[in-house]
Chains A and B, each alone.
Chain A
Amino acid sequence: MGLEKIRAEVVSQIIAELNPEVQGSFLASDPDEVLESSPTFLERFNFIIASNMKPQSLKKLAQFCWDKDKVLIIVRSYGMIGYIRLVSKSHDIVEAKLDQDIDDLRLSNPWPNLQAFSDEQDFSKMEMKEHSHTPYPAILIKALKQWREKNGKNVPASRDEKEAFKESIKDLALSFYEEENFQEAYNKYFQAIQPSEIPQSVQDVFEDELCKNLNANSNDFWFMAAALKQFVANEGQGTLPVQGRVPDMHADTDRYIKLQTLYRRKARNDVNSVRTHLGQLLKTHGKQSESISDSDLKDFCKNACYLRALHFRSYQDELSSPNKSEIRNHLMNPESAMPHYVMFRAADRFYEKNNRFPGDDNSNLEADAAELHKLVKDLLNEYEVEDGSVGDIFDSHVKEMVRYGACELHNISSLIGGVGGQELIKLCTKQRIPLNNTWIYSGITSHSCTFEA
């Protein structure tokens, strides 16, 4: 259905058929021509996907995207191997949606109301039922207070001190093996001795040039990040706003709700403090204080420990000054998919010289292999890979690459397209952490690797 028709036309028709809400259009032109004569066509888009483009055109497109601050996603399906590269000058993430939540309950440095809640719990006056349903954060705060009074130190640091602290939790129980809340406290003892640290990824956001140099064109993320930074330096006394979330635990309803209320109130107060800083910053740069909504700021503060900012290297930089050490490190690992990265680079150079990929003309497979082999050698020299350190693994990779002849397999394309789609969704929604910045996949070993090229 559609033989001899214009590919772009058929694809856009069929894709639009899948969802009536999608507006599909196409341009049946050489990408080079579009870049030369009608770049305005490309300026309409925020995200540009380059799929199996020829190397020279890709370079031009990448330059265009970098200059115009467009997000570029390069996707390649090549025989049994695949490649994805993301380029975005600056990408900020509020909802990282990590697999594991970071729970910071401030147990090692409780604010006065939380300390008071723990102090109110008088174990000596409790019956078993009440005792065994005291929320574990209160137990840990109490245990830490006792430990501090006894040892005159802030938190247990050495292994012995930690062990002693752990055991002191048992001593607080009436019957440790019957009281699940005390077991919970025992198992989560580290929450009490862990200082409330600001994750490195968040410190990086604070130190980002975009955070330090706000201007009227800065986006909401950076205004909020700058306000958050001021909060940390002032009211927060070195900590991020309280998240307000209290995890599941063994507790009676009454005290669980009291605890929850404490955390929520503190979280609300912290957001209000950040709001004040934000208002000042917006005003300084001539913006309305309402230009950032309360709910956005609330979400931002709730996710404060997950904040991230990524700055992708440009494709041009990758080609002109490759990340040699990363490449070398990966090549040392025999399971790494890194050799395929080298193969892609070599095949691209082959294309630039011959205007075709190696092996796509069946008549001179051996000549192509020899030429490709030489290109690989050059590249390894450029990457300063010591002679002999990678053995002769590239002999077979060169043969494979020539055999592929830039053919596409449906199932490999399905896989690569799926991962590419996934990354596009991450970039669009600013949720989750996109890969930074290159992904190489091998269908032979089914291994893949990501690295910053």
Chain B
Amino acid sequence: MDRYSHIKQIYGDELFNRMQKSKVLVVGAGGIGCELLKNLVLSGYLNIEIIDLDTIDVSNLNRQFLFRQQHVGQSKAVIAKETALRFNPAANINAHHGSIYSSEFGLDYFRQFDVVLNALDNVDARRHVNRMCLATGIVMIDGGTAGYRGQVNSYQKGLTECYECATKATQKTYAICTIRSNPSTAVHCIVWSKLLFERLFGKIDEANSISDFEILFQEKHKNSLDFARKVFEKVFVQDIKKLTELTEENADKKDTMWNSGKAPEPVPFSDETSNTNTAAAAATDDALEEQRVWSLQENISQFLSKCAALHDRKTSQQSDLSFDKDDDEALQFVTAAANLRCFNFHIKDAKSIFDTKAIAGNIVPAIATSNAVIAGMLVLELTKVISAHDSENKVSSCRTLAGYLQDPPMLKRKKAPVFAMPLPPPNPKCFVCSSNYVTVTLNAKQTKLDYFVKRVLLEKLGLREPMVYLGSKLLYEHSGDGSDDDDDEMAQVFKNNLNKNLTDLGVTDQCVLNVSDGAVDVDWSVRISHDGVLDLDEFKFEGDTESKVVAAALGEDEKKIPEEDDDDMVVWTEDEKRKAKENKQKRGLKRKRDGEEEERQSKVAKVDVVEID
């Protein structure tokens, strides 16, 4: 009797040998990663590499069961490996404490694996792995949970949908009325506080109407602390007074109309309170300190000092900030502002830095049981892929596996905690998997966008009027003869961008740029690989340009998306091509409209929620 006797009895020796020989990459050693690694080594998968950037936090211990108290602060990947080896010392695990975006995990690295398993907690990293797997043709199996829900999906290039074929729903909304004028919970205040952050330090978004800062922004300030005080006076005193006046007329309802049962109250403010800065800001690095709720005094001084610091940062960087829960100053600002707003509205539930981080970072609680289910499914799908005899189609027996773990009320036939659905086919209009993929190695710190557009996009790829996107941000758009007045402003931005280095535009090592060209109707994904040794006028090119360049040059020809299966050849008709072009134009129009749109009285503020663990 050996430790694998059960597995061999069920799977048979042949499959079991394949499992033992296969090589698997696990991305992420968090909640799912721990369960997964345990299942893998116990199931007889012996060649495993695991990558995770994170170190172990106390809050991980409730479900990431490969870690113990004494491991806090150490690398997740390394400790996960050590603990998993105790389950099966025969396993050969290679742990990397590093970022999946790092250049050491390039295409050649990916090519050594039979399957890549995602146990990630964010969409961006999934997208990155998706693109690496598409570029190398490796099967990717992705698992994710959000609270009591979870899903497992298998992806193989050309046969199934890719991770980015369908847009992922990631947003939850609150009524802006509640947020702006009548909060009743600390969460409302934190949402407001994040909006305040974006309004003060982020890029201008006309939909963000939490307070009117036009006058304040135009005034001259003695220094950044002066700015901070004016903001304070505006949002915690003046705006609140205005709100109470609004209801003065119907005095009998004065209190009942407020969610908290009492009319809001301005934060008392004097120069004394604002001068306690140094005393309160001192002790903040202790982990326990993170869990303490600040006093009103502390909130005031934290707000002023962080607001001033962020204002300085924005001015010196000359760029917009965006909220990041791991940015201490930003988090302290949001915590203090939310707590002051709680005071305004008599919400007796002020939050510590720690709690605010969880709420502001939109972390849906990760639940151990869901992770166990999903990790079990991941290994099941992995085993199906490994058992596939058809090397062209390894996912033929895979399914989309979903776990609702609660009666799904609408799905009568599938009324069960877990169920399977067929894998969807590729979306022929997907920006990522239907487009051409190349890697360009250059010195991103010194290469200007202008050079990239002219030499790589126009000459090498044969494009005519490229639009260059980094994520959803448009870096460059070809502007015809420049006669369109509306576009002048944007055209100027693009012109400036051309003279900037790629890194200054946020294009760093392993970034993927999406390039589309309405004129020749072709989309490209261009992965940038930075090499500091390269000269200014040098770049290396990896990937197949031939067929697509021909298609691009012909332009009017029907574009064919190659499929493994001849029966399923997808052909774009003229009609579809026209629609795609129209959509692209509409995108451009929408962007313009968004900029011009007037502030509307009521709108639903969007707050990104679901993060998947």
Binding site for B on A (CB under 8 A): 1, 17-20, 79-80, 97-100, 129, 133, 247-254, 256-258, 260-261, 264-265, 333, 337, 403-405, 407-419, 421-422, 425-426, 432-433, 435, 439, 441, 443, 445-450
| B109 / chain A contacts, CB cutoff of 8 Å | none
Instruction: Tell whether A252 pairs with B10 under 8 Å between CB atoms, given A100-B409, A447-B419.
Output: no
Contact A256 B376 (CB under 8 A): no
Looking at B177, B182, B369, the one whose CB has the most chain A CB atoms below 10 A away is B177
B259 close to chain A: CB less than 8 A: yes
B417 close to chain A: CB less than 8 A: yes
Can you report 16 residue pairs joining A to B where beta carbons are below 8 Å apart?
Answer: A18-B61, A18-B65, A97-B406, A251-B602, A253-B602, A257-B181, A407-B7, A411-B377, A415-B373, A416-B376, A422-B148, A422-B367, A433-B407, A439-B416, A446-B419, A450-B415
Interchain nearest-CB distance for B437 vs A (Å): 31
Binding site for A on B (CB under 8 A): 5-7, 9-10, 35, 38-39, 42-43, 61-62, 65, 68-69, 86, 148, 173-175, 177-178, 180-182, 246, 253, 256-259, 367-380, 383, 399, 401, 403, 405-410, 413, 415-420, 601-602, 604
For B369, give its contact among A249, A407, A422 (CB under 8 Å): A422
Contact A99 B39 (CB under 8 A): no
Contact A435 B407 (CB under 8 A): yes
Closest residue of B by beta carbon distance from A416: B376
Contact B406 A418 (CB under 8 A): no
Instruction: Tell whether A443 pairs with B380 under 8 Å between CB atoms, given A1-B86, A448-B416.
Output: yes
Interchain nearest-CB distance for B68 vs A (Å): 7
Instruction: Tell whether A410 pairs with B39 under 8 Å between CB atoms, given A261-B253, A443-B380.
Output: yes
Main SS of chain A's interface residues?
Answer: mixed
Contact B416 A449 (CB under 8 A): yes
Cα(A257)–Cα(B602), bound, Å: 13
Closest residue of A by beta carbon distance from B43: A410
Cα(A28)–Cα(B578), bound, Å: 74
Contact A414 B373 (CB under 8 A): yes
A-B contact count (CB 8 A): 164
| A411 / chain B contacts, CB cutoff of 8 Å | 39, 43, 375-380, 383
| A433 / chain B contacts, CB cutoff of 8 Å | 406-407
| A264 / chain B contacts, CB cutoff of 8 Å | 256
| A265 / chain B contacts, CB cutoff of 8 Å | 256
Cα(A415)–Cα(B182), bound, Å: 44
Cα(A169)–Cα(B373), bound, Å: 48
Cα(A403)–Cα(B419), bound, Å: 24
For A421, give its contact among B181, B259, B369, B378 (CB under 8 Å): B369
| B177 / chain A contacts, CB cutoff of 8 Å | 251-253, 256-257
Contact B9 A17 (CB under 8 A): no
| A435 / chain B contacts, CB cutoff of 8 Å | 407, 416-417
Contact B6 A408 (CB under 8 A): yes
| A333 / chain B contacts, CB cutoff of 8 Å | 413
| B178 / chain A contacts, CB cutoff of 8 Å | 248
| B257 / chain A contacts, CB cutoff of 8 Å | 257-258, 260-261
Interchain nearest-CB distance for B260 vs A (Å): 12
Contact B39 A414 (CB under 8 A): yes
Instruction: Tell whether A17 pairs with B68 under 8 Å between CB atoms, given A251-B177, A419-B373, A443-B380.
Output: yes
Instruction: Tell whether A418 pairs with B256 under 8 Å between CB atoms, given A79-B10, A446-B380.
Output: no
Contact A432 B406 (CB under 8 A): yes
Contact B376 A257 (CB under 8 A): no
Looking at B7, B38, B372, the one whose CB has the most chain A CB atoms below 10 A away is B372
Contact A133 B416 (CB under 8 A): no
For B601, give its contact among A18, A129, A403 (CB under 8 Å): A129
Looking at B5, B10, B376, the one whose CB has the most chain A CB atoms below 10 A away is B376
Contact A418 B376 (CB under 8 A): yes
Please name 4 further chain A to chain B contacts, defined as beta carbons within 8 Å, in addition to the given A421-B368, A446-B419, A448-B419, sorted by A numbering: A17-B68, A411-B379, A432-B406, A447-B416
